[in-house]
Amino acid sequence: MQMGYRGIYEQYRQLIITGLLKPGDKLPAIRVLAEELKVARKTVESAYAILVGEGYIVSQGARGTRVNPDLKVSAVSSPVEAKVADAGINEILDLRDGSGDLRLGIPALDEFPFKKWLLLSGKAARSLRPEEMTNQPLMGYAPLREALASYLQISRGITCTPEQLFVTNGYRTNIRLILQSLAQHNDKVVMEDPGYFFGQKLLKRIASNLHYSPVNQQGLDTCYFKKHHHDARFVIITPTHQSPLAVSLSLPRKHELLAWASENQGWIVEDDYDGEFHYTRKVIPALKSLDINERVIYIGTFSKTIMPALRIGYIVMPPDTIQRFRETGEIIEAGQPLLPQKILSMFLSEGHFFKHIKRMRTLYQQRREIMLGALHALYSDIFYYELTDGGMHIVAFLRKGVQDVPLAAIWQKHNLQVFPLSSWYSQSQKRYGLVLGYTNIRSEAHAITLLEKPLRETLVLINSAT
């Protein structure tokens, strides 16, 4: 089925009205879209002409066609409505809120050791003593820092003292605190491309000199990095399971990066967000475990292993940097509440965490198999995979076409909170597909039920491109 100019017009108008394309966003070049949709250039030109006439888009000559930067998508009439009305893609999805299936990075809610957790929570809550009501040490509750140091040694091969740990409320604070403690204004910061969706957004906001380095089958392309970003001061990477491609940084590349950091006084920020979940062979030790020159700043979170609502993350500070983190922290950070730290430290030190992680490792491996089976059954013509050994999500690459943004919008309409892969890219040649979480898939039937919902519309969209 070939699309007419009216269909193209309607599709883009919807994308703009719903906020999936925002004021200032670029539209595909006429030639590219015509090829993609297998229609005559004239057809796309006609659709664009109507959109220009109605003020949705503007043509800026060599700079291409964009959504009208002055467009007010809809009148904001009340604070509550504003939340939806003035929304970009992340606002619409409310990606950080609680609902929806196939979400990324959410632990298996049905298999969480609830009884044990609630028991410890009640115990911790009742253990408050008057002297604990005052400000607690900024870098975290001492027993938690001790339990964390011991956990990191055993599970991730990292040797550090409790004094090297800074307990935070998660990824965003980790990154902010690292840059605010150690970066000079305009220090070059390099991120993986593609890279963590929310990490990109954050760094675009707080790093004034941000660059990207592409990722291939062995993780970050260290050749490219050393050629173009030799002078970087920070490189922020996900070596164990690259986010989102899930590839692991090869050992030679790890050593190349460590050597670069030592020689250039660079800092490697290792984001080990789901390093616990590796299935088909021995768990990969953290890059930090090879870091004899103390150039790696390791960051972790309990959002993936326990629950996001706990809001506990941490930084492993190289010894020489502790004082700088401390000084900056005392000035800009408010610190974490005591009670969640107490609960977590009990859960860790009583051994429940290890048991839990071990169970989840097996469970997630099974659920991934179930998810892949259901995807094969329903979508074998649509997606292909480049499977790796771990993680908490699958990247389903599109076999053809580039329309992963409208595709994700369709899935989201069915309450499947997947991400379009292309939105994780910044400058590198984009790839297209969906990023899906599978940790809460309870059975084959459950997977099929969920995946069937957007099937018809997916086929229509993808086949419109043939």
Question: Closest approach of Cβ 121 to a copy of itself, in Å?
Answer: 4
Q: Which of 6, 42, 114, 463 binds a copy of itself (CB under 8 A)?
A: 114
- Name which of residues 200 to 259 contact a copy of itself (CB under 8 A): 201-202, 205-206
CB atoms inside a 10 Å sphere around CB 441: 24
Residue with tokens 């979940």, as numbered in its chain: 277
- Name which of residues 326 to 355 contact a copy of itself (CB under 8 A): 326-328, 330-340, 343
- Name which of residues 40 to 69 contact a copy of itself (CB under 8 A): none
Question: Closest approach of Cβ 321 to a copy of itself, in Å?
Answer: 10
Q: Which of 118, 223, 377, 460 binds a copy of itself (CB under 8 A)?
A: 118
Q: Which of 138, 357, 372, 459 binds a copy of itself (CB under 8 A)?
A: 138
Q: How far apart (Å, rounded) are the C-alpha atoms in residues 282 and 280? A: 7
Q: Which of 29, 40, 109, 251 binds a copy of itself (CB under 8 A)?
A: 109
Helix (H, G, I), strand (E, B) or coil at 92: helix
Question: Closest approach of Cβ 134 to a copy of itself, in Å?
Answer: 4
Please say which residue, 312 or 382, places its beta carbon nearer to a copy of itself.
312
Residue 391, CA atoms < 13 Å, CB-side half-sphere: 22
Token pair, residue 258, equals 């460590």
- Name which of residues 286 to 305 contact a copy of itself (CB under 8 A): 303
Please say which residue, 226 or 311, places its beta carbon nearer to a copy of itself.
311
- Name which of residues 391 to 450 contact a copy of itself (CB under 8 A): none
- Name which of residues 65 to 94 contact a copy of itself (CB under 8 A): 76, 78-80, 82-83, 86, 88, 90-91
By CB under 8 A, tell whether 310 contacts a copy of itself: yes
By CB under 8 A, tell whether 137 contacts a copy of itself: yes
Q: Are 145 and 167 in contact (CB under 8 A)?
A: yes
Q: Which of 169, 181, 222, 242 binds a copy of itself (CB under 8 A)?
A: 169
Q: Which of 217, 293, 323, 427 binds a copy of itself (CB under 8 A)?
A: 323
Distances (CA, A) of 140 to 273, 298, 332: 20, 16, 15
Question: Closest approach of Cβ 74 to a copy of itself, in Å?
Answer: 12
Instruction: Measure CA of the first residue to CA of the last residue in the chain; give whole Å.
Output: 8
Distances (CA, A) of 284 to 173, 215, 257: 26, 19, 17
CB atoms inside a 10 Å sphere around CB 337: 12
Please say which residue, 22 or 368, places its beta carbon nearer to a copy of itself.
22
By CB under 8 A, tell whether 383 contacts a copy of itself: no
Please say which residue, 200 or 458, places its beta carbon nearer to a copy of itself.
200
Question: Closest approach of Cβ 229 to a copy of itself, in Å?
Answer: 24
Enumerate the H helices of 283-393 as residue ranges: 322-332, 338-349, 352-379
Q: Are 245 and 435 in contact (CB under 8 A)?
A: no
Q: Are 428 and 380 in contact (CB under 8 A)?
A: no
CB atoms inside a 10 Å sphere around CB 265: 9
Q: How far apart (Å, rounded) are the C-alpha atoms in residues 385 and 421? A: 13
Q: How far apart (Å, rounded) are the C-alpha atoms in residues 360 and 113? A: 11
Specify the stretch interacting with a copy of itself by CB under 8 A; choose among 106-114, 276-284, 377-385, 392-400. 106-114
Q: Which of 43, 65, 173, 238 binds a copy of itself (CB under 8 A)?
A: 173
CB atoms inside a 10 Å sphere around CB 389: 16
